[in-house]
Structure 1
Amino acid sequence: MAPDPEHRLGELMESSNPSFETVMSCVFGIEPHETRTYLALVDRPGSTIDELEGPLERDRSTINRAMTTLYERGLVRRDRRLLDGGGYVYQYTAVALPEVKLMLHESLDLWTEMVHDVIDGFASE
């Protein structure tokens, strides 16, 4: 599994009816635009950063930073494609949604277990 992101579960608890995007952003410690980038990639597997500029209405550098974060969190995979004229370009594919949902469940289960341990370990004086 990916390195532990900085969870923002407190934000999640403040919402009575969070969207999937909010849950994903809070649990994985990513920004909303990074979650939108992941979701755009779900519909466009094998995309390059240039190919995502239009659909995301973001500049290359913003998309590149988002992809780096998503890659570090284990939410996207990247493959290097050699270009005919030399050089290469990265193509990104989102980790399948069922796998990401499992990662969300596992993260929340670990957090819940930790909170239960804190509660159980509290000794009244």
Structure 2
Amino acid sequence: MTDGERDLEALMLVDEPEFERVLECVFGVQPHESRTYTALSKAPGSTTAELATDLDRDRSSVSRSLGTLEEKALVERTQRLLDGGGYVYQYTALPLPETKSRMHRAVDEWSEQVHERIEEFGE
């Protein structure tokens, strides 16, 4: 059994799981990463420094969270040129409808596997 399967199995024991907990289980992210996604979905185009302030975390922790979310295709990074020279990275969360759609697909795939296993019992 994979960690993701264990997470989904544990999620089934919760009567009313919160969105962030489902996000963690489905995508295999940590609670601080799901909080980062939620904060970013409320403030698209934020920088690491802005998110660090919003989340009351240090920039390096937020940067690692953003990296993980970007690897999972839940966050997009763009570069913005600054007027005085240089640039800053801005982050935008995958739109909520797309995230929810991906979550539905993942849970449906897992459920299908469970149904197949049920049918194999007793054979």
TM-score by length of 1: 0.87
Rounded to whole Å, the distance in 2 between the matches of 1:11 and 1:40 is 25
1:88 maps to a residue whose letter is Y
Percent of aligned pairs with the same amino acid: 53
Q: Return the offset for 1:46.
A: 0.6
Gaps of 5+ in 1: 1-5
1:118 maps to a residue whose letter is R
What residue number does 2:55 align with? 56
Q: Return the offset for 1:10.
A: 2.3
Post-superposition Cα deviations, 1:27-68, rounded to whole Å, max 9, x if no partner, equal: 111111111110100111111101111110010111001101
Rounded to whole Å, the distance in 1 between the matches of 2:78 and 2:27 is 22
TM-score by length of 2: 0.88
Q: Return the offset for 1:85.
A: 4.5
Rounded to whole Å, the distance in 2 between the matches of 1:91 and 1:77 is 8
Rounded to whole Å, the distance in 2 between the matches of 1:123 and 1:71 is 43
More helix per residue = 2
Gaps of 5+ in 2: none
What residue number does 2:9 align with? 10
**Cα RMSD (Å) of the superposition?**
1.7
